[in-house]
Structure 1
Amino acid sequence: MSNIHATAIVDPAARIDPTATIGPYAVIGPEVSIGARTTVGAHCVIEGRTTIGEDNRIFQFASLGAQPQDKKYAGEPTELVIGHRNTIREFCTFNTGTVQDRAVTRVGDDNWIMAYVHIAHDCQVGNQTTLANNTTLAGHVDVGDWATVGGLTGVLQRMRIGAHTMIGFASHVGKDVPPFMVVDGNPLAVRGVNLVGLRRRAFSDERIAAIREMHKLLYRQGLTLEQARAAIMALPEKMPQARDDVALMDAFIAGSSAGIAR
């Protein structure tokens, strides 16, 4: 195919859409699938059982689909799955999963992933996220839709980052970050509600008011977590437009094994 550079090494078994572009000196392994109009930059290595969707831009020197950095890994057939329309900048490293968890590392759609980001085994990254330079996700991390993670942030293994969150520069994420919150620091601290992000996503004033009320109940009233959850679940009685946001928050708290940042 004319859009595969002459110096690229592409295994004959790889499945490359005819409209995809492979740059100079890239190396593509036999179990790789690359979708329509995806571009792979110079010197990238894409290996393992890796599936990449359509319209992705993968910049030079990325390493995608390498074996997980897990001592328990013994060569099992695990995967990396990347969706559509993602931007993956220079020197990013995404590993495949492990059989001790989901056996797949997954990156959704429309994500903006900056240079030197590491996404370790079994991470699940949603849609429309922004991971700034040198963000490091340890194994088994979940990142919700529309989350933004500041540069030089480290996320401990098995942590969960809720939807619509904002994590500040150089933070240490050692607790689950509830949806809609702004956090930063080491130790991690909740600073408020992600008002800028919510307004950019056209959240109504009524929804934002309910989210601010959830923040107040969790962080400003001196309530126990269970007391705060009960009060949050009662919010739709007077704020019916908050029903879905309340359900998202309650499900996140209920699913937290590490405890939420508080």
Structure 2
Amino acid sequence: MSEKVKVRFKVRRFLNGKSWLQEYEAEVDRFTTVVQVLRQIKETQDPTLSFRASCHMGVCGSCGMKINGKPKLACKTIVLKEAKNGEIKLEPLDMKVVKDLIVDMDEFYVKMEKIDPRLRPEENVLSGDKEHRLKPEDQRELWSFEQCIWCGLCYSACPVTKYDKNFLGPAALAKAYRFISDPRDTETEKRIECVNSLDGIWACRVVGSCSVVCPRGVDPSLAIQKTKMLVLRNERVV
């Protein structure tokens, strides 16, 4: 059995326009994750505590929140690795708060949809009359940007999204590059036109915080710079 340790959790609560820090205490071991503690608190201490969680495997992206000030997935964060002096602070991501640790993701989703995040192959490929094979080198390039789980951590970490609400954001721009660089896609020109703007790739300040916080190893900052290079090579700068 792993030794149990008591840890204090300072949770930022939001309700009806009011905000406060509420403290809870829970026993954890070296395997306990933040989302496990939140479920324990809700079940045994405070049923009014609200948060999102689903897969508990770092796949769905539901449980994004700020843990000690850094955007992380609660299901992938081990409590004892994050606790400082026996404490952990939990806050919602930097988006509009609905309640407690739950934020309104609509702004993020709308921007993701603007780049049309789906492959648009040729009609004869869709009909099954033609096969469009992908070279291994193209597959490797795409794979690193295909892993996005739409968790919004990068969007919350990005300083530009704080003052420029028109900025598409790192996740949308990384997803756009994933399809722009896909030789099977037929909407490359439309995608480049969408991101080649002052609300797109040229708003990025290359801080890199988006790449640091991604739980799936996606590098949005790199994707944005690669898209800029494509635009510059084709002399399409806005």
Larger helix fraction of residues: 2
Larger strand fraction of residues: 1
**Quick one: higher RCO (CA 8 Å, sep 6+), 1 or 2?**
2
Whether TM-score is above 0.5 comes out as no
The alignment's TM-score, normalised by the length of structure 2, stands at 0.27
